[in-house]
């Protein structure tokens, strides 16, 4: 089982790239907002129950995928409400089940991120769409990104189309 841990800031194209990669590989796509939205329906974003349940659901799902041998692409946005060391814990859980985690980092220039943040398709999953809030949180997102494990591959999605990014990731496998 391979877990493609696809991470990057808001509006960097994680889900778009994940879907294009899934078409090439047949891997399942586990979009982090599926859990964020489910848990957020009951608990406020960032609250202790929200954080605990969100991370538990993410970890349990990825561990079960590893046990089942189901290669998966997990989209993830490093941000301050995620517990420190989360990505390493996922790596440990997947490795314990015989799987391999491949970290892929997406980047985007601030100006392009500013243009993409309010896109209508971001509303489907309750994603961040506020430019003022993005500006307020940008430094925190960058600090959380810097704490992530080293990526096998880093792709600037402002310069590389999603299909090309997916091809680059598939080629690195």
Which one-letter DSSP state was computed for residue 161?
Answer: -
- Residue 170, pLDDT score: 97
Confidence of residue 117 (pLDDT cuts 50, 70, 90): confident
Whether 42 and 54 have beta carbons less than 8 Å apart is answered as: no
How many of the other CB atoms lie within 10 Å of CB of 69?
11
Is pLDDT at 134 greater than 60 in this prediction?
Answer: no
Structure tokens at 129: 């769409």
- Residue 125, pLDDT score: 67
Which contacts (CB < 8 Å, 24+ apart) does range 30-35 have? 30/61, 30/62, 30/65, 30/72, 30/73, 30/74, 30/75, 31/75, 31/125, 32/58, 32/74, 32/75, 32/76, 32/77, 33/75, 33/125, 33/126, 33/127, 34/125, 35/61
Is pLDDT at 113 greater than 60 in this prediction?
Answer: yes
For the entire predicted model, the pTM comes to: 0.89
Q: How many domains does the chain have?
A: 1
Q: Max Cα separation, the chain?
A: 43
Whether 99 and 73 have beta carbons less than 8 Å apart is answered as: no
Percent of the chain topping pLDDT 70: 88
| Domain carrying residue 13 | 2-172
- Helices 162-172 and 14-25, axial angle in degrees (round to 10): 50
- Residue 102, pLDDT score: 97
**CATH number (domain holding residue 111):** 3.40.50.300
């Amino acid at each position: 089982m391979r877990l493609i841990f696809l991470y990057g800031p808001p509006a960097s194209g994680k889900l778009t790239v994940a879907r294009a990669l899934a078409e090439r590989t047949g891997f399942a796509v586990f979009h982090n907002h599926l859990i964020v939205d489910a848990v957020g329906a009951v608990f406020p974003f960032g609250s202790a129950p929200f954080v605990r349940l969100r991370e538990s659901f993410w970890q349990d799902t990825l561990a079960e995928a590893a046990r089942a041998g189901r290669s998966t692409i997990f989209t993830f946005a490093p941000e301050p409400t995620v517990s420190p060391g989360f990505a390493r814990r996922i790596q440990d859980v997947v490795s314990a089940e015989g799987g391999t985690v491949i970290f892929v980092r997406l980047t985007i220039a601030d100006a392009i991120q500013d243009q993409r943040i309010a896109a209508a398709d971001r509303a489907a999953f309750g994603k961040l769409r506020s430019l003022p809030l993005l500006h307020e949180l940008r430094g925190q997102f960058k600090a959380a990104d810097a704490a992530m494990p080293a990526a096998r591959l880093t792709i600037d999605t402002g310069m590389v189309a999603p299909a090309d990014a997916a091809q680059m990731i598939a080629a690195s496998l």
